[in-house]
Chains A and B, each alone.
Chain A
Amino acid sequence: MPRVEKLLPLLEVGASIGVGIGVAALVLFAFGYNPGECLAAIFDPHYLVSNAGFILSNAAPLICTAIAFAIPALAGLFNIGSEGQMYLGAITSLVVSYLTGNPFLGIASGMIAGAGLASLIAFLRLWLNINEVVTSIMLNWTLYFVVLYIVTQVIPSPQAGYRSVSIPPSARIGSIYGVPGVLLIAVGAAIVANYIVFRTRLGYTIRVSGFSPKTATYAGMNPRTASLYSMLLAGAFAGLGGALIVQGIVYYITDTMSSLYGVGFTGIGVALLARNMPIAIPLSAFFISWVSLGSTRLELLFGAPSELSQVVTGAILIALAAPYAFRLIVHYIRSWRLVKAHG
């Protein structure tokens, strides 16, 4: 059935979300909670409507880090360093906008810093053949401690000991007609990313190189430069995500880095849920942001830790890793239909 074939990607995504929620229910049950009650609290539509602004703002950085995973993934690289690139973008944007008070300089410097870090990973991978997964994680941890050092030792707030200075109101991103500015920027970024990937020569080279480096070489393209550019773009988008957090959501960084921690990793889940299609990323970021806020609510209502959202995202990822499983299911549906048709 050709109709089933076309629906396959949607089926995979839907089934993975189902697996994620099912695993969350199991975990809640195992820890002695009522899964039905908890899931109803997470996915309560009234709660969604009354917190829409918060969910949308927090989806914005996720959109950026998701693009930062999706573009190199199309080129055949695993950028799990978006976490560190986002940290660097956030701290650079914080320092620059604190010093200059200019929002554009803050965003631009964050993007450049992120791109710089990503190009280091790409350089080590492409010229020294060092696994990008390893360097990414090492740089994530390095940046984690560097940001903590800057926050606590270089620019601590004179008013409160647990956080950095705040950026001045002139460099903050507000909202337009009630729509968070960070969301508009992030959705704009997704549209730009989609245009680059599907409508430009560079995007075409990136996709061909990811599909088959040999084909790209025969066609006169250079897969190496394609990978390098994909990482540069990724770093810039991850840096943008960091800049949006400090300029549009929290305005400072605390000594636990709670507003930054995990945004890069969650972005990987967002990207894979959108099947690495930039244009689908805002929707999947919205979903994950909703689940995250719902898990926070669970903590307030029942005392169940909000890390449940990571359990959900992790389980969704594990399920998405095995599309073949869903194809098998479709195969069975198909043969069942055939059997039925021929009675």
Chain B
Amino acid sequence: MASWATLFVDALTPMTPLLVASVGEIINEKAGVVNIGIEGIMLLSAFAATLATFLSGSPLIGLAAGIGCGVAVGALHGFISVYLNGDQIISGIGINMFAYGLCVMGLVLTWHSYGASPSVPTLPSFKVGESSVSVLTIPSILIAVGAWYLITRTRAGLRIRACGEDPRSAEAMGINVHRVRFLSTLLGAALMGYAGAFLVIGWIGQFTKDITSGMGFIALANVAFSNWNPLLAILGAYIFGFFNAVPYVLQMAMGFARYAYLVKTIPYLATVAVLAIVARKARMAMPRALGKPYIKE
């Protein structure tokens, strides 16, 4: 029974990357840019963070490398989406595929392994009961609150929302829609990079090629669940994080060797189920110009 109680604390670990990545996506989408390349950005950033930590010995440098990598991919996606009026979904699919190929190549060529990198040092964590929680979990909640403040309470946030709701009027009000959208994409991708780096230096301690295994898309699900509100995203990330932690705890507690594969489907099925339950209420705050390129006249 003890393990079931720890589940509520263990959920905080998967909650962290889900929360930060979905807050990043909310900022993106509020400005009108969809980025379904979250998964690919997280994977690349996890790899960059592993490599940087491996070479420097410092997980903080790894975190910086992860964020930097996120910004770089965000710049590519932003350039295609904003300045080239590209198809944002296709660009995202391409980023995911490209990232997977590049990371596996990097893994094999750097460490001559097809599965996992060597272990790298992680940032410290503190004990809550029998579980440990990374120090990076606290800033993740501050990031969500900060993003909420930015979007709803500041001039910059008003500009971001204007670009996502009605870019033509925003332009008429003197806002540079392209620049706001591009910068929002960078900021969002930086947070996705943070989430990717967390997987390695705040959680697992090494890179594996399936380290993200759908987390980027669960973060995308959380955006709709939270109704584009970073504060609700904390709740959503906790719920989705909870279901992500279930397979680990079930396996630790009961050792379902025979059903190990089936237990792993729980987070994915739970994500669809949760979305189906809240479906009627969600999507009220979806930005109206979401995913549509803004073409200047």
Give A residues with C-beta under 8 Å from B. 23, 27, 31-32, 78, 80, 124, 128-131, 133-135, 137-142, 145-146, 148-149, 152-153, 265, 268-269, 272, 304-305, 307-325
For the complex, count residues of B whose C-beta is within 8 A of A. Answer: 51
Q: Judging by beta carbons under 8 Å apart, are A149 and B276 in contact?
A: no
Extra A-B contacts (18), CB below 8 Å, given A146-B262, A265-B93, A321-B87: A23-B98, A31-B105, A31-B109, A128-B275, A133-B220, A138-B214, A138-B272, A140-B214, A145-B265, A153-B258, A153-B261, A307-B100, A307-B102, A310-B100, A314-B94, A314-B101, A321-B86, A325-B84
From known contacts A27-B105, A129-B279, A305-B105, infer whether A272 and B85 are also in contact, taking CB-CB under 8 Å: no
Contacts of B93 in A (CB 8 A): 80, 265, 268, 317
Contacts of A129 in B (CB 8 A): 279, 282-283
Main secondary structure of the interface of B (DSSP, over half): helix
Contacts of A325 in B (CB 8 A): 84, 86
Min C-beta distance of B111 to chain A, whole Å: 12
Min C-beta distance of A260 to chain B, whole Å: 15
Contacts of B238 in A (CB 8 A): none
Min C-beta distance of A34 to chain B, whole Å: 14
Contacts of B220 in A (CB 8 A): 131, 133-134
Q: Judging by beta carbons under 8 Å apart, are B86 and A322 in contact?
A: yes
CA distance A145 to B101 in the complex (A): 21
Contacts of A137 in B (CB 8 A): 39, 214, 217
Contacts of B76 in A (CB 8 A): 318
Task: Give the residue name and chain of the A residue nearest to B86 (CB).
Answer: A322
Min C-beta distance of A2 to chain B, whole Å: 23
CA distance A124 to B269 in the complex (A): 13
CA distance A314 to B264 in the complex (A): 28
Q: Which of A153, A310, A318 has the most CB of B within 10 A?
A: A318
Main secondary structure of the interface of A (DSSP, over half): helix
Contacts of A311 in B (CB 8 A): 98, 101-102, 105
Contacts of B259 in A (CB 8 A): 149, 153
Min C-beta distance of A272 to chain B, whole Å: 6
Q: Judging by beta carbons under 8 Å apart, are B217 and A134 in contact?
A: yes
CA distance A130 to B282 in the complex (A): 9
Q: Judging by beta carbons under 8 Å apart, are A269 and B217 in contact?
A: no
CA distance A316 to B202 in the complex (A): 34
Q: Judging by beta carbons under 8 Å apart, are A128 and B279 in contact?
A: yes
Task: Give the residue name and chain of the B residue nearest to A314 (CB).
Answer: B98
Q: Which of A23, A265, A324 has the most CB of B within 10 A?
A: A324
Contacts of B271 in A (CB 8 A): 134, 138
Q: Judging by beta carbons under 8 Å apart, are B97 and A317 in contact?
A: yes
What are the interface flags for B207-218 relative to A under an 8 Å C-beta threshold, 1 for contact and 0 otherwise? 000000110011
From known contacts A133-B89, A322-B91, infer whether A141 and B214 are also in contact, taking CB-CB under 8 Å: yes
**Complex interface residues of chain B between 51 and 96 (CB less than 8 A to chain A):** 76, 80, 84-91, 93-96
Query: Does B268 sit within 8 A of A, measured CB to CB?
Result: yes
Query: Does B245 sit within 8 A of A, measured CB to CB?
Result: no
Closest 8 CB pairs of A and B: A314-B98, A310-B101, A317-B94, A314-B97, A322-B86, A318-B94, A321-B91, A311-B101
From known contacts A141-B213, A145-B262, infer whether A318 and B102 are also in contact, taking CB-CB under 8 Å: no
Q: Which of A139, A268, A304, A321 has the most CB of B within 10 A?
A: A321
Query: Does B19 sit within 8 A of A, measured CB to CB?
Result: no
Of B98, B114, B275, B282, the residue contacting A318 (CB under 8 A) is B98
Query: Does B41 sit within 8 A of A, measured CB to CB?
Result: no
CA distance A27 to B268 in the complex (A): 33
Task: Give the residue name and chain of the B residue nearest to A128 (CB).
Answer: B279
Task: Give the residue name and chain of the A residue nearest to B112 (CB).
Answer: A303
Query: Does B199 sit within 8 A of A, measured CB to CB?
Result: no
Q: Judging by beta carbons under 8 Å apart, are B102 and A141 in contact?
A: no
Task: Give the residue name and chain of the A residue nearest to B264 (CB).
Answer: A145
Min C-beta distance of A117 to chain B, whole Å: 12
CA distance A309 to B101 in the complex (A): 7
CA distance A78 to B130 in the complex (A): 43
Q: Judging by beta carbons under 8 Å apart, are B221 and A138 in contact?
A: yes
Min C-beta distance of A128 to chain B, whole Å: 4
Contacts of A319 in B (CB 8 A): 94
Contacts of B258 in A (CB 8 A): 153
Of A27, A78, A269, A322, the residue contacting B97 (CB under 8 A) is A269
Task: Give the residue name and chain of the B residue nearest to A124 (CB).
Answer: B276
Contacts of A133 in B (CB 8 A): 36, 89, 217, 220
15 chain-A/chain-B pairs, Cβ below 8 angstroms:
A31-B105, A131-B224, A141-B213, A141-B265, A268-B97, A272-B90, A308-B105, A310-B97, A314-B96, A314-B99, A315-B98, A318-B91, A318-B98, A321-B86, A321-B87
Query: Does B108 sit within 8 A of A, measured CB to CB?
Result: yes
Contacts of B262 in A (CB 8 A): 145-146, 149
From known contacts A130-B279, A313-B97, infer whether A305 and B268 are also in contact, taking CB-CB under 8 Å: no
Contacts of B276 in A (CB 8 A): 124, 128, 130
Task: Give the residue name and chain of the A residue nearest to B276 (CB).
Answer: A128
Min C-beta distance of B264 to chain A, whole Å: 5
